[in-house]
Chain A
Amino acid sequence: MSTPETRSAAAADPILVPPGDKEILSPGHDAASVTKRIAMIPEGRTPIWMFGVFAVSFSLVGLLLTAITYLVFKGTGIWGLNIPVAWGFAIINLVWWIGIGHAGTLISAILLLLNQDWRNSINRFAEAMTLFAVACAVMFPLLHTGRPWVAAYWLLPYPNTMMLWPNFRSPLMWDVFAISTYGTVSLLFWYVGLVPDLGTMRNRAKKLWLKRLYGVLCMGWRGSARHWHHYEMAYLLLAGLSTPLVLSVHSIISFDFSVSQLPGWHTTIFPPYFVAGAVFAGFAMVMLVAIPVRKLYGLEDMLTSRHLQNMAKVTLVTGLIVCYGYLCEFIYAYYSGNPYERFVVGENRPFGPYNWAWLSLVFCNFLAIQPLWFKKVRQSVVALWIISFIISIGMWLERFVIVVMSLHRDFLPSSWDRYAGTFWDWALYLGTIGFFFSLMFLFIRFVPMIPMSEIKILLPEAKVKGGSHH
C-alpha cells in the first residue's frame, strides 16, 4: 500500500501522473483514490453542462412522446410506408439500435472470457448503452403494429383464448425470443456487476435514507470472501451466457431479411456481416459517448488513450469485415446469374435513384475508417470522435440501403415506387436518440459509471499478491 502522503496527493489529482500511451490506469492511483474518483460523480453536485445536454435530450423525449401519441391516434399511415416499400424506418431503426447494443455485450462477455483487462474500465458504461439501445430498439417493433398495447399478446406464445400460437417458422418470431433474451441477460449481467459498487456507495453514503436505498439495491453485499466467491462465479456464468448472444442476436435479426426470397436480402453472408456491423456500430457509439464524457469529467486517468486505441482497432477490424460483406454481396449477385439480383445489387445500388445513400455508405463505412490504420489517428480523440460519428451515420445508411433499396424496385417495374421518411418517421427516430441519451445522462449522473471493484483489480497492489480476481 502507498503511504498516506502519496495517497492523498494522488487522490487529490491522480492525473498529475498522466497515464502512458500503453497504460489503462494512471500510475498515481490506489484503492482509495479509485473509489473517491468514481464515487464522487454520483455523490457530487450536478455539473452545469449536464443541465444543458439533458435539456436537449429530454426535449427529444418530448418529441418521442408526441410522435407515439399521434401514431396511436392516427395509425401507421402517418409514416412514409407504401407498397412495395412496406418496411421502412421502423425496421431500419430497430436494426440500428440493436446493433449499437452489441459493443456492450462484446466488451462485457467476450473480452472478460479472453482476459482483456482493459475492458474493466469501460464495461459498465458500454453495457448501460446496450440496455438503453435495446430499450430504444424494442419500441419500433411494438409501435409498428399501431397498437402497442396488444402487441404483447400477439407476440408471445402462451395458451390463449384464440387457441393460436405465433408462427414459429417466422424470423420475426425468432426476433421476439432473441431480443427479449438479450435484454434480460444484459440487464442481469449489468446489475450483478453493479452489486459490489452499490455496496461501496452504501458505505460512503452520509444520509440514512440513501444508505438504506443503496443497501436494498446492493442486496446486503458485505464484501466477504464468500460473497466474492459467489459473485465471481455468477459473473462468469453470465458472461458465458452472454457470449453466444453477441453472435446470435444479430444473426437472428439478419434472418428477418436473409430468410426471405427478396433480391438484396437473400444472401448467406448476412449473419456474420450483420454481427460485424453491430460490433462496428457499437464501438463507434461507445467512443462517441465516452470521448466527451471522459473529457467533461476529467476521467483521462481511467479511460486512457490505450482504451480508445484498442476500441479504434476493434472498430477498424469489424469495419473491414463489414466492407468485405459489401463486396460479397456484389460477387453473390454476379455469381447467382439471377437477373433480378444482379439488377438490385449491381445496378440499382451504385446507379439507381438512391445511389447517394449507397455512395455515402461507402464513404462512411469504408473510406472514413481507413485513417484508423495510423497510430497518430488512433491517438487523437478529435479524429476518433469524428470517425465514430461518421460510422454511426454510415451504419444507419447501411440498413436504409438494405431495406429500402431492395424493396423499392419490385420484380415488376409497374410496382416500382419511391420511399421517404415523413416528419413522424424522423420524429420517432430522433425521439429515440433523445431517449437513449437521456437515460445515458441519468446513468452517468446517478450510477458509478466505471466499476470501482474491477478497476481495483488493475492496481499494482492487486497484482503483487500474485493472483487476480479473475
Chain B
Amino acid sequence: MAQIFGPSSNIYSKLSIVLAALLAGGGVTLVMAFERSPYKTNENVIYTQPIKFSHDHHTAAMGIDCRYCHYTVERSRSANIPPTELCMNCHSQIWADSPMLEPVRASYRNNEPIEWNRVHDLPDYVYFDHSIHVAKGVACFSCHGDVNEMPLIKRGASLQMSWCLDCHRDPTPNLRPPSEVTNFRWEPPEDAGDEYYAHLAAEANLADRQRLFSCSTCHR
C-alpha cells in the first residue's frame, strides 16, 4: 500500500507546532499592542473641528491664559467650551471680516452654538473633576499635552485607566505650585529635589495616597 503522507509531512508536522505557538503568542501580543496603540486610544489624533481654531496661536503667540476661555476650570467638573460671545469679545474687532471666522459670526447672528467635537471624552462611568486637579497643582499640560504647540487640537493622552492610575498612585512628579498650572513654559526650580515635591504634595494635602486610588474616587 502506498504511503498516505510524503516525506515532507514530517517537516510540516514539526512546523505546525512552532507555528501554532507563534500564532497564539503573536495573536495575543497583537491584540495587546492594538489595545495600547493610538488606533484604539486616539492618543495624538487630531480631531476635525468646525473651525480651524489654533491653540498654538492663541496661547503661545497671543499669550492668552487658558482660563480666559475655559473659565470654569477652577470651579467646576468641566472646563467649559467658551460660548461664541467670548470669541466675539475680540473677533468683533480683530479679523472681523475673515472668511475663516464666518462660522463664528454665523453662530453669533443666529444665536446657535458652534458644535465642537469633544477631544477628551471620558466614559460616563468615570467621575472626573477639573477643579480639584487644578487646585492640587496638576497642570493642564499633564493631561492635555503641549496645547501651546498644537495648531490643531489633538488628544494629549490615552485616557486609559492605567494612565489615570499612573498619576493617582504617585502624583508628585506631576505637581507644581497651583498658581502655575496654566503655564506651559513652567520649569521646576533648579534645586528642586524630593523635598520640593514632598512640600507640594503636603501643600496639596495628598499625604493619604489610599484615598487617591480607591475605586469610588472615580467610579461613584
> Residues on A close to B: CB < 8 A?
158-164, 202, 208, 211-212, 215, 219-220
Contact = CB atoms under 8 A, between A and B. Distances in A.
Given A161-B36, A161-B161, 5 more contacts: A161-B160, A162-B161, A162-B162, A163-B161, A212-B5
B160 A215 contact: no
Interface string B1-40: 0001100010001000000000000000000100110000
B165 A211 contact: no
Contacts of B5: 212, 215, 220
Contact of A164 (B13, B36, B161): B161
Main secondary structure of the interface of B (DSSP, over half): helix
Nearest to A163: B162
A96 B35 CA distance: 37
Contacts of A202: 4
B162 A161 contact: yes
Contact of A211 (B4, B9, B160): B4
Contacts of B36: 161
Main secondary structure of the interface of A (DSSP, over half): loop
Nearest to B28: A158
A187 to B, nearest CB: 15
A469 B32 CA distance: 47
A163 B165 contact: yes
Most A-side CB within 10 Å, residue of B4, B9, B35, B160: B4
Interface in B158-177: 158, 160-162, 165-166
Contacts of A219: 13
Nearest to B9: A220
Contact of A212 (B4, B161, B165): B4
Interface string B142-168: 000000000000000010111001100
Nearest to B161: A162
Contacts of B35: 160-161
Interface of B: 4-5, 9, 13, 32, 35-36, 158, 160-162, 165-166
18 contacts: A158-B32, A159-B32, A160-B35, A160-B162, A161-B35, A161-B36, A161-B160, A161-B161, A162-B161, A162-B162, A163-B165, A163-B166, A164-B161, A208-B4, A212-B5, A215-B5, A219-B13, A220-B9
A164 B215 CA distance: 11
A220 B4 contact: no
Contacts of B158: 161
Contacts of A220: 5, 9, 13
Nearest to B5: A215
Contacts of A215: 4-5
Contacts of B13: 219-220
A81 B166 CA distance: 38
B38 to A, nearest CB: 13
A30 B4 CA distance: 28
Contacts of A164: 161
Most B-side CB within 10 Å, residue of A159, A162, A163, A220: A163
A163 B166 CA distance: 9
A163 B170 CA distance: 14
Contacts of B9: 220
A32 B156 CA distance: 74
Contacts of A159: 32
Nearest to A209: B4
Contacts of B160: 161-162
B208 to A, nearest CB: 20
Nearest to B40: A161
The 10 closest A-B pairs by CB, nearest first: A163-B162, A162-B161, A161-B160, A163-B165, A211-B4, A161-B162, A161-B35, A215-B4, A212-B4, A163-B161
A158 B31 CA distance: 12
B141 to A, nearest CB: 22
Contacts of B4: 202, 208, 211-212, 215
B167 to A, nearest CB: 11
Contacts of B32: 158-159
Nearest to B162: A163
B70 to A, nearest CB: 28
A164 to B, nearest CB: 7
Nearest to A210: B4
A158 B35 CA distance: 13
A53 B151 CA distance: 70
A163 B35 CA distance: 13
Contacts of B165: 163
A28 B133 CA distance: 86
Contacts of A161: 35-36, 158, 160-162
Contacts of B161: 161-164
B202 to A, nearest CB: 26
Nearest to A215: B4
Nearest to A161: B160
A215 B9 CA distance: 11
B112 to A, nearest CB: 38
A53 B53 CA distance: 70
A212 to B, nearest CB: 6
A468 B166 CA distance: 62
Nearest to A205: B4
B37 to A, nearest CB: 11
Contacts of A163: 161-162, 165-166
A144 B32 CA distance: 26
B100 to A, nearest CB: 39
B5 to A, nearest CB: 6
A211 B160 CA distance: 52
Contacts of A162: 160-162
B163 to A, nearest CB: 8
Most B-side CB within 10 Å, residue of A160, A202, A211: A160
B122 to A, nearest CB: 14
A161 B164 CA distance: 10
A202 B4 CA distance: 10
A163 B158 CA distance: 13
A208 B1 CA distance: 11
Most B-side CB within 10 Å, residue of A158, A162, A208: A162
B12 to A, nearest CB: 10
